[in-house]
């Protein structure tokens, strides 16, 4: 019985942690994407110069 309850609790924690983790992941992905875009613009302007 205890094992089952602790597993359910673990599942709840896991879900909430995953949500938080995904939130942060998307933030970092967006950040990386925007920095990549600016780097591409920078390199493009350098090649034109």
Domain boundaries, the chain: 1-49
Whether the pLDDT of residue 1 is over 60: the answer is no
Q: What is the mean pLDDT of residues 36-41?
A: 74
Going from the C-alpha of 2 to that of each of 5, 11, 12, 15, 21, the distances in angstroms are 5, 14, 15, 20, 28
With vertex at residue 36, the alpha carbon angle to CA 32 and CA 24, rounded to the nearest 5 degrees, is: 10
pTM (predicted TM-score)? 0.33
Whether the pLDDT of residue 22 is over 70: the answer is yes
**Which pLDDT score, from 0 to 100, does residue 26 have?**
78
């Amino acid at each position: 019985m205890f094992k089952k309850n602790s597993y359910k609790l673990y599942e709840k924690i896991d879900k909430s942690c995953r949500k938080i983790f995904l939130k942060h992941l998307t933030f970092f992905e967006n950040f990386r994407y925007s920095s990549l875009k600016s780097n591409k613009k920078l390199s493009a302007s350098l090649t034109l110069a």
